[in-house]
Amino acid sequence: MTDEFRSICVFCGSSAGNHPKYLALAKSTGKAISQDGFRFVYGGGSFGLMGASARAAFENGGKVLGIIPEFLVRSEGAFTEAEHRIVPNMHVRKMEMYQESDAFIILPGGIGTIEEAVEVLSWMRLQLHQKPVIFLSEDEYWEPLLGLIRHTIDIGFTPAWIKDDLLTTTSPSDAIEIIKKEWSAPKDKRSIWVDYDDI
């Protein structure tokens, strides 16, 4: 698969949060993904960091795919200017986001964003994929979560090799460069690449 046909999924808050810097980071992330020629995949909402990042990708000429469950269309409003897919529930939403994407960028967000981030890491730990997962923030927003994951490694509940896959950076351009580097790296024997229908 060549880079121009690859997709980057962004997980982030459906709210804007209390600090304008998070909204600005979301916009710059969407812009960077589109300007690098990658498709932008996200949870389909039109508000908060989700809407800001998707709109920035779209307005900068990028391809955007939003995937949103039907019950959230009323409360979060699908970004209808871009390609969007309405699905029956949250489980299908996440599965299709994972299937449609070749890498994941985790921006600041709340419980839903944490759930998505931990799930893609869990699937990596189970050797179901080896797609890059990048935690992006300018202020160590994700350090409490990453610290907890490192704690589970130290205690012996999580394998030590996961530490090498807890990728972090402070700028969207750096995140994309890390993703490109990960894509070009040889895959080792712990990557199984199962069919998602088997999960």
pLDDT bin (cut points 50, 70, 90) of residue 76 is: confident
The architecture of the domain spanning 3-184 is: 3-Layer(aba) Sandwich (3.40)
Please determine, for residue 15, whether its predicted confidence score (pLDDT) is greater than 60: yes
Q: Which of 7-16, 50-59, 78-87, 173-182 is predicted with the least confidence, judged by mean pLDDT?
A: 78-87
Closest CA to 22 of 12, 36, 31, 32: 12
Beta bridge partners of 83: 65
Domain boundaries, the chain: 3-184
Look at residue 3 in the predicted model and tell me its pLDDT: 47
Per-residue confidence at 114, pLDDT binned at 50, 70, 90? very high
- Nearest Cα residue to 124 out of 154, 103, 146, 147: 103
Q: Is the pLDDT of residue 99 over 50?
A: yes
Higher pLDDT, 179 or 77: 179
> Tell me: the pLDDT tens digits for 32-70?
999 999 999 999 989 999 999 999 999 999 999 999 999
DSSP of 39-84: EEEE--BSSHHHHHHHHHHHHTT--EEEEEEHHHHHHH-B-TTSEE
The torsion angle over the Cα atoms of residues 80, 77, 37 and 141, rounded to 10 degrees, is 170
Q: Indicate whether 25 pLDDT > 60.
A: yes
